[in-house]
Amino acid sequence: MRLRSLAVSLSFLAAANVHAQGRAIQPKATGEVRIDYTEETLPNGLHVIYHVDRTTPVAAVLLWYNVGSKVEAPGKTGFAHLFEHMMFQGSKNVSKTGHFSLLEAAGGRGGSDINGTTSNDRTNYFEQLPSNQVELALWLEADRMGTLTETLTQEKLDNQREVVKNERRQSLDNQPYGTRFERLEEALYPAGHPYHHDVIGSMADLSAATREDVTGFFKTYYAPNNAVLVVAGDIDVPQVKSLVRKYFAPIPRGPAVPGLANMTLPPIVGVEHREVVNDSLAVAPAIYIGFRVPAATDARAAQVSLLGDVIGSGKSSRLYEALVRTQKATQAFSFNWGMSTGADMLILGAVGAPGSSADSLEKALMTQLASMNGNFTQAELDRAKAAERFAFVNGLQTTGGFGGQADRLAEGWTFFHDPNHVNKYLPEINAVTLAQLNALARERLVPVNRATIVFVPARKSPSAPRTK
């Protein structure tokens, strides 16, 4: 599974919402759900999706730009994430702190309702606020899409560059196991592949970035023809369409977006990778293992999500039973990262108890992996499907935010060129057979497709951060 929260059951949600007037989530007798929408494309290339949900007087405005770390050229890593920060530094008609202050004054909450995030594949910005304030959110997003470079000063760039560098120090270099995902990316994707480097980028590349570099990046990728706008919630569609055209239609189309580098990879890495990290910040050993698996847009993506579930998601999973209950590890986990193109990562592992042996933890984990030779049971698959349904439908109870209605519609357009993908997800999960699941496990859970990172607590002064 991807990292999405689990909460309430599908059957409960369906029963609770079956009589809701104008409810976006319309359960069928089979327990499936449907998100209805309308869509249009403006002359400047901006694709717009409208979705009505009358449950609460709330509206969400969400923009997905089709730009992530995978588009970054060598020597310019971290630009996509840096620009996520720059987008909150003011635009022609909005002060440096105006975006948050205006939205919070209108009823939004910074962080949960108002935010931006960058991944390997996309960058998104979203606002959720009372529906009578939807015009404010549209104006703010249009202003920074159309005018941000007019106020992009060297001072702002220098300031946010240091913020991003500090974020790397806090989240990667100065955290126990902080470089785990970066190391797995480097092992599972060859040098030069768009997924080989981490989203946050390297210190050297960030230091070398000029104002001209980031301005060119913005004009290329932060254009209406490289974005999808979703307006969802308690909205009047004709009125909102008029507002969208008022604020976004005058923004000129950007240049043709450069094509991606070749994302194609062999199904199997071809060599086993093992790395031991002496971690002076860790108090307990940890093992992180990655496998190359089909990407999120592959026809087998649902199989990948379910394979992650049966391996290590939840207390009924194999890893939890073997490592937490039996070996007294503190955590056992498994999930897929969600890379959209070429190949994804299936990540699993465990964190031991303080004072325990890294060798013993790794041996127990490898013993479990060796036993996963295509012998998962129907009961395990059924539990995994239930977990995926719970997570998916629970996410759709929110209008905006991660995994909410607007987010799922934007995801469908960006990765599949099809907003209706939101309505195909559960049928794809339900259609996975035990034979497919076991075949995928036999094909991909093999040593020559595996990268293992072993973190060993080191009793010495903190080591220098990785040179990136």
pLDDT in tens, 378-437: 999 999 999 999 999 999 999 998 899 999 999 999 999 999 999 999 999 999 999 999
Whether residue 166 sits in one domain with residue 100:
yes
Whether residue 156 sits in one domain with residue 237:
yes
- Cα–Cα distance, 216 to 220 (Å, whole number): 6
Residue 330 pLDDT greater than 80, yes or no? yes
Which structural domain range is residue 103 located in? 37-249
Burial-class residue 306 by CB neighbours within 10 Å (0-12, 13-18, 19+). Answer: buried
Whether residue 302 sits in one domain with residue 212:
no
SS3 label, residue 115: strand
- What tokens appear for 342 in the block? 């070429």
Instruction: Let me know: does 245 contact 42? Beta carbons within 8 Å.
Output: yes
- Cα–Cα distance, 171 to 149 (Å, whole number): 29
Instruction: Let me know: does 309 contact 335? Beta carbons within 8 Å.
Output: no
Q: Report if residue 265 sits inside a domain.
A: no
- More confident position, 321 or 290: 290
SS3 label, residue 192: coil
Percent of the chain with pLDDT over 90: 79
Instruction: Let me know: does 161 contact 209? Beta carbons within 8 Å.
Output: yes
Q: Report if residue 3 sits inside a domain.
A: no
Residue 368 pLDDT greater than 70, yes or no? yes
- Cα–Cα distance, 221 to 40 (Å, whole number): 20
Percent of the chain with pLDDT over 70: 91
- Calculate the dihedral angle through the C-alpha atoms of 168, 169, 174, 176, rounding to the nearest 10 degrees: 0
pLDDT of 326 reads: 85
131: phi then psi, degrees, rounded to nearest 5: -65, -20
Q: Report if residue 29 sits inside a domain.
A: no
Residue 4 pLDDT greater than 50, yes or no? no
Q: Report if residue 465 sits inside a domain.
A: no
**Region 2-29: what's the mean pLDDT?**
35
The CA-based diameter of the chain, rounded to the nearest angstrom, is 65
Place of tokens 């050229």: 73
Whether residue 291 sits in one domain with residue 223:
no
Strand partners, 345: 292
- What tokens appear for 426 in the block? 């559960």
Residue 11 pLDDT greater than 70, yes or no? no
Residue 465 pLDDT greater than 80, yes or no? no
Sheet holding 58-65, edge to edge: 38-41, 47-52, 227-233, 58-65, 123-130, 114-118
Residue 18 pLDDT greater than 60, yes or no? no
How far is Cα of residue 229 from the mean position of the Cα atoms in its chain?
18
Whether residue 237 sits in one domain with residue 290:
no
- What tokens appear for 47 in the block? 């694709």
Whether residue 233 sits in one domain with residue 148:
yes
- Calculate the dihedral angle through the C-alpha atoms of 274, 280, 284, 288, rounding to the nearest 10 degrees: -30
pLDDT in tens, 105-158: 999 888 888 999 999 999 999 999 999 999 999 999 999 999 999 999 999 999
Structure confidence at residue 31 as a pLDDT band (50, 70, 90)? low
Q: Report if residue 447 sits inside a domain.
A: yes
CATH of the domain at 125: 3.30.830.10
Sign, CA dihedral 97-233-241-61, equals positive
- What tokens appear for 288 in the block? 């992180």
Domain final residue, candidates 217, 249, 281: 249
- What tokens appear for 345 in the block? 């990562």
Whether residue 358 sits in one domain with residue 237:
no
| Of 145, 148, 100, the residue nearest 127 (C-alpha) | 100
- Cα–Cα distance, 214 to 221 (Å, whole number): 11
Whether residue 305 sits in one domain with residue 205:
no
**Region 87-105: what's the mean pLDDT?**
92
SS3 label, residue 5: coil
Whether residue 291 sits in one domain with residue 239:
no
Whether residue 282 sits in one domain with residue 141:
no
pLDDT of 467 reads: 58
- What tokens appear for 194 in the block? 């768009």
SS3 label, residue 38: strand
- Calculate the dihedral angle through the C-alpha atoms of 255, 261, 264, 270, rounding to the nearest 10 degrees: -160
Structure confidence at residue 12 as a pLDDT band (50, 70, 90)? very low
Q: Report if residue 179 sits inside a domain.
A: yes
**Region 32-59: what's the mean pLDDT?**
95
Domain count, the chain: 2
**Amino acid at the residue 344:** D
Sign, CA dihedral 377-378-383-385, equals positive
Whether residue 299 sits in one domain with residue 203:
no
Residue 462 pLDDT greater than 90, yes or no? no
Q: Report if residue 184 sits inside a domain.
A: yes
- Cα–Cα distance, 189 to 290 (Å, whole number): 11
Mean pLDDT score of the chain, rounded to an integer? 90
